[in-house]
Amino acid sequence: MNPGPDETATATRLRAQIAAQFGRSLHIRTLDTGSCAVCEQEIRLLSAPHYDLHRLGFFFTPAPRHADLLLVTGPMVRAFTLAARKAYEAMPGPKVVVATGACALGGVYRPDPFVHGTVDAVLPVDVWIPGCPPSPLALLNGLGVAVGRLAEKTPGLTFIAGGDRS
Amino acid sequence: MPLWFIRGLRRGVVTTRYPARPDASATALPTPPAFRPGKLTRELADRMISVCPGPALSRADGNLIFDAGACTACGRCALAAPDAVTPTGEFELATTDRAALVKMIPILGEER
Amino acid sequence: MTAVEPRATGRTRDQLVSSLAGLGSLHAERRGVVTVRIPAEALEPATHAAAGNPGVRLADMFAEGSQEASPQAAGATADSDATVLRLVWAHEADEPGYIITETEIEDEHYPPLSDIAPAAFVEECEIYEQFGIRPAGGKPLNRVMLPPHNGIELPTLGHRPGEPPAEVHAPHVVGGQAFEFPFGPVRQVGVESLYYGLVTSGEEVVDLYLFTWHKHRGVEWRLRGKTMHEAIRLAERTEGLSAVATGWAFAAAAEAAAGVAPPAAAARTRAVALELERLYNHAAATAALCQATGLSVGQSAAEIALERLLRVNAATFGHRYLFGVIEPGGVSRAPDAEALRRELPGAYGELLRATDALLRTNSFVDRLEACGVLTAEQASRLGLVGPVARATGLATDARRAPVAAGGPYTEIPVNIVTAQSGDVFARFQVMLGEAAESVRLVMEFLGGGTAAACNLVPPRASTGLGWAESPRGEVLAWVALDEDGRVTRARLRPGSVRNWRGFDDACRSQNVFTDIPIIEASFWLTAAGMAR
């Protein structure tokens, strides 16, 4: 069943409204699906003096009911699938899922009996942040993109030297 | 407690202004590669694909396929083919479109 | 702080090796590692001989299945269905080094080794899940890597066990009224997934056990068939906070197998990276201790130091967490020595100022003292390693055992830091002492000269043991390679595998719930290193 033009317009307006709200005050919950522990260390540094995510209106919360954004690391170990789904479903909508790090994006572990290999095999991902690990600056960039405050650079990057960028 | 308060004041502010202003520490971060099509031969492409520890590099239809999302910026491709690779210096890679992280780079002299 | 040296009463290393060889046969002796083949019927007396020696510690126990048995394995032929059981003993008194016993186990049972050496218990559980062999005597075994729910069929390294360990956790004796409170695996913000079963009568911790199967990525399984060059990037991500140590141990195992060593300048480069890794980990542990005790100001101060140290890593080695430095045969990057000499003192000074202030903050020190106490006897019985063991007075450090003749720590020996009280405060003191020592070592190694260089590791069918002292303790790696240099069996034993088993002992005895995060910070382990 496809949304009609009125519904699409409403959805777009709602999305903009949500982004505006999240852009002013966003509560983040973290979820480790099997990382090597380094992504978590970079995430912890977001609240450290050098980065201080609070000045941007971002906050960490351990309470899923309070959270707006789920920051997910790791290659989604299969034995963790149920816990991951429960963590996601415990968050009320509207919510955003951000897959962070090469493991979560499929770069380190291929799908096999132990791991799914990517977070989006189990959860609906809205934003992907590459890096191994993504530095706190890259994480801040990703959070800014997630709430619509920062424009994405990736579509414009060619990774060709001497091309449009770098 | 006065000990901490005084020390804190004396230490001053270390907080970055990012994203409002660029942060100088970003220049030391490892970043994914950019490729030089003018130097990218099939042989170099294959050499890079074989040293890449993950699935970030592959080849199809005369193109090197680079998945910047899968890249760990380990630098092995740059070591294997220094003429064909240069660091991008890009760390602001977050995207709402996973496919936007997969790029095609034309291989020298290949039919496409 | 005088260290309690492991006493070799009765037997020197040579005497122990002779008595073991008398029970079986001496197989190989290379660069600090002696391998003795012990027949199955002599395994129990051999274990008594080793375990009964105060200067000897059980460092690891693992198995190798017959389908991928290396040609070096004790008599195993392609037809044999035997599993080869290896025990790795660390000899720490005179001539620090390792003794490996290899035993071919034909049927499902082997002697109850954890009755002789309690340190073997977790490994017995792991071996049962992976290879289907278990100690005789019917002792209940815990699940370690296998999740206790259905629907997950995981490949094993050897024969699947006849019945999976039905016991989720071995029964523990609980006095009085107590209930079990499951906590996790999704816990507070920014920490790894980890499941605790907390047994409590209210506030007091009666017992505590951990599960890490939800993070089990099957690293040892996944490394099979890979060349060392392909495998090392995955190996260093087993426990990313010990990437240098794990990568070094793994590379050293392959180098030992091939009979090569890295160039001296590359070995010094490895040591510089390892000490930088130790420094940032101890800063991170300090920040975690402050967070656990609710001292936000201290946490911020420690985090400033940590960030500066990570930036030193990035500036000198190109990666904040030092990934990608170690390669088989050497290192791929050399530090920018000038930048390191310039930046490190300032970053370390930041840490020193923060920790000086912490040591003068009574409300902080009070939370740490007499919290999470471990005795030297417990540490020794459980085979604990790293700052956790050194804080009880044991002078155990893998840097004492030379990796190769003329390895970097032979030229510049480490002053081992120990403490006596075995509590959180003692562990904190050990970390502070080690941080100072690491800065000294970095400067000395830079003085000796560092370089990005690799020696070729020729492919050869052989086996080898490698080790390194990670920030959380000794990492061991053992590889069996085929004639193409591909892994047939890789064993990775990060320090976390050893030390998590001491965590419940430390959390018991008059500790309450709010002490648990403090004790966890003082251990500074990872779930990833245990789960791999």
Which residues of chain A have a CB within 8 Å of the CB of C241? 36-38, 41
Same domain assignment for residues C106 and C238? no
Please check whether residue A163 touches B, CB under 8 A.
yes
Which run of H or of E encompasses A87? Answer: helix A81-89
The pLDDT value recorded for residue C150 is 62
Cα separation of C117 and C112, whole Å?
9
pLDDT given at position A110: 94
Q: Are residues C426 and C280 in the same domain?
A: yes
- Of residues A136 and B110, more confidence is placed in A136
CA C174/CA C76 separation, integer angstroms? 45
Structural domains of chain B, ranges and CATH numbers in brackets: 32-112 (3.30.70.3270)
Pairing label, strands C97-105, C109-110: unpaired
Domain count, chain C: 2
User: Which candidate from B15, B18, B72 shows the least CB-CB separation from A102?
Assistant: B72
Token couple for C43:
């395994």
* Whether C122 and C241 share a structural domain: no
Q: Among all chains, which residue has been given the structure tokens 């050897």?
A: C158
Taking one residue from B and the other from C, the number of pairs with CB-CB distance under 8 angstroms is: 45
This model's pTM is above 0.90: yes
C510 part of a folded domain: yes
Helix runs in C243-325, H state only: 243-258, 264-292, 296-317
Lowest mean pLDDT among B102-106, C82-86, C133-137, C143-147: C143-147
Q: What pLDDT score does C145 carry?
A: 83
Identity at A158, one-letter amino acid code? T
Query: What residues of C are in contact with residue A112 (Cβ under 8 Å)?
Result: 218, 222
Chosen domain end from C113, C135, C157: C135
Q: Which residue has the higher pLDDT, C13 or C390?
A: C390
Q: Within this chain, do residues C129 and C226 fall inside the same structural domain, yes or no?
A: no
Does residue B17 belong to the interface with chain C, where contact is any CB pair within 8 Å?
no
Q: Cα separation of C298 and C391, whole Å? A: 22
Asked if B75 lies within 8 A of C318 by C-beta distance, the reply is: yes
Residue C423, domain member (yes or no): yes
Q: What is the CATH number of the domain that holds C24?
A: 3.30.460.80
Q: What is the ipTM of this complex?
A: 0.95
Helix (H, G, I), strand (E, B) or coil at C132: coil
State the Cα–Cα distance between residues A122 and C349, nearest whole angstrom.
45
Mean pLDDT of C213-222: 93
Phi, then psi, of C94 in degrees rounded to 5: -80, 150
Predicted confidence (pLDDT) at residue C5 exceeds the cutoff of 60:
no
CB C54 within 8 A of CB C9: yes
- Helix (H), strand (E) at residue C14: helix C13-23
**Cβ contacts (< 8 Å) between C529 and chain A: which residues?**
37
Contact between residue A14 and residue C169 where contact means Cβ atoms under 8 Å apart: no
Assigned architecture for domain A21-148: 3-Layer(aba) Sandwich (3.40)
- Tell me the DSSP string of A4-61: -HHHHHHHHHHHHHHHHHHHH-EEEEEEESS--SHHHHHHHGGGSTTT-GGGGTEEE-
Query: Scanning every residue of chain A, which has its alpha carbon at the shortest distance from the alpha carbon of C154?
Result: A113
Range of the domain at C354: 219-531
**Which of C143-147, C235-239, C414-418, C424-428 is least confident?**
C143-147
| One domain, residues C430 and C292 | yes
Per the CB < 8 Å rule, is C301 touching B25? no
Percent of chain C clearing pLDDT 90 (strictly above): 64
Report pLDDT for C146: 82
Q: What amino acid is encoded at C317 in this protein?
A: F
CA nearest to A26, candidates A68, A61, A83, A66: A68
Strands C25-30 vs B102-106: parallel, antiparallel or unpaired = unpaired
Q: Which residues of C112-128 are buried (b: 16+ CB within 10 A; e: fewer)?
A: bbbebbbbbbbbbbbbb
Structure tokens at C456: 């070729």
Please give, rounded to a whole number of angstroms, the shortest distance from the CA of C314 to a CA of chain B.
Answer: 6
Secondary-structure breakdown of chain C: helix, strand, coil percentages, each rounded to the nearest 5: 45, 20, 40
d(CA C174, CA C206): 7
Distance CA C172, CA C186 (A): 25
C311 vs B4, B28, B75: nearest CB: B28
Of B54, B55, B105, the CB nearest to A159: B105
Residue B19: asked if its preceding bond is cis (omega within 30°), the reply is yes
Q: Measured between CB atoms, does A40 come within 8 Å of chain B?
A: no
Residue C148 pLDDT class (50, 70, 90 cuts): confident
Domain shared by C131 and C268, yes or no = no
Return d(Cα C259, Cα C404) in angstroms, integer.
10
Number of other residues whose CB lies within 10 A of the CB of residue C202? 10
Contact B94 A142 (CB under 8 A): yes
Which residues face C474 on adjacent strands?
A: C469
Task: For residues C115 and C125, give the distance between their C-alpha atoms in angstroms, rounded to a whole number.
Answer: 13
Question: Which tens digits make up the pLDDT trace of C182-204?
Answer: 888 999 999 999 998 888 877 88
Whether the CA torsion C52, C8, C271, C302 is positive or negative: it is positive
Query: In terms of domains, do C115 and C260 share one?
Result: no
Examine the domain organization and report whether C246 and C102 are in the same domain.
no
Q: Give the 3-state secondary structure of residue C13.
A: helix
Local structure of residue C6 (DSSP, 8 states): P
C neighbours by CB contacts (3+ pairs under 8 Å): A, B
- Whether residue C433 is predicted with pLDDT greater than 90 in this model: the reply is yes
Distance (Å, whole) CA C141 – CA C392:
28
Angstrom distance (rounded) from CA A109 to CA A111: 6
Q: Are strands C487-493 and C473-481 parallel, antiparallel or unpaired?
A: antiparallel
**Does C126 share its domain with C224?**
no
- Length of chain B as a residue count: 112
Characterize A88-126 residue by residue with b for buried, 16 or more Cβ atoms within 10 angstroms of its Cβ, and e for exposed: beebeeebbbbbbbbbbbbbbbeebebbbbbbbbbbebb
Copy the structure tokens of residue A154. 């990736």
Rounded Cα distance, A164 and C311, in Å? 30
Write the residue in A102, A128, A135 that is nearest to B91 by C-beta.
Answer: A135
Q: Does pLDDT of C6 surpass 50?
A: no
Given an 8 Å threshold on Cβ–Cβ distance, is C185 in contact with A45? no
Q: What does the pLDDT read at residue C176?
A: 66
Q: Are residues C234 and C103 in the same domain?
A: no
Nearest chain C residue to B49, by CA: C230
The predicted pLDDT at position C8 comes to 42
- Which of the residues A28, A30, A31, A41 would you substitute to probe the C interface, choosing the one with the greatest number of C C-beta atoms within 10 Å? A41
C424 in any annotated domain? yes
pLDDT in tens, C482-502: 999 999 999 999 999 999 999
For residue B63, the SS3 value is: strand
* pLDDT (average), residues C305-310: 97
Whole-number CA gyration radius for chain C: 22
Average pLDDT, chain C: 88
CB contact under 8 A, B94 and A146: yes
β-bridge partners, C113: none
Q: Which residue has the higher pLDDT, C396 or C23?
A: C396
C298/B28 Cβ within 8 A: no
Q: Which residues pair with C88 in a beta bridge?
A: C60, C100
User: Does residue C143 form part of some domain?
Assistant: no
Confidence (pLDDT) at C151: 62
What does the alpha-carbon distance between residue B55 and residue C92 come to, in Å, rounded to a whole number?
Answer: 43
Q: Cβ A130–B14 below 8 Å, yes or no?
A: no
pLDDT for position A1? 56
pLDDT value at residue C79: 44
**Domain limit, last residue, from C135, C166, C183:** C135
Closest residue to C214, CB basis, from A77, A103, A113: A77
- Two structure tokens written together for A99: 């897959």
Within 8 A of A144 by CB-CB distance, chain B residues are 19, 94
Q: What is the mean pLDDT of chain B?
A: 93
Phi-psi region of C139 (alpha: psi -120 to 50; beta: other; left: phi over 0): beta
Least CB-CB distance to A49: which of C185, C191, C303? C303
Ranges of residues in chain A whose predicted pLDDT is under 70: 1-3, 163-166
B80, with CB counted inside 10 A (0-12, 13-18, 19+), is middle
Smallest CA–CA distance from A118 into chain B, residue? B70
DSSP H helices, C318-399, are 337-359, 362-368, 376-382, 386-390
Q: Which residues of A touch B66 (CB under 8 A)?
A: 159
- Asked whether the beta carbons of residue A107 and residue B69 sit closer than 8 angstroms, the reply is yes
Q: How far is CA C50 from CA A100, C90, C99, C327, C389, in A?
A: 47, 10, 9, 34, 19
Contact call for B54 and A107, based on CB within 8 A: yes
Q: In this predicted model, what pLDDT tens digit does every residue of B30-65 receive, in sequence order? A: 999 999 999 999 999 999 999 999 999 999 999 999
pLDDT score, position C22: 82
- C460 with C330, same domain: the answer is yes
Residue C152 confidence (pLDDT) above 70: no
CA dihedral sign of residues B18, A62, C144, A118: negative
What whole-number distance in Å separates Cα of residue C302 and Cα of residue C65? 46
Q: Which of these three, C135, C159, C186, is where a domain ends?
A: C135
Q: Write down the pLDDT at residue C175.
A: 59
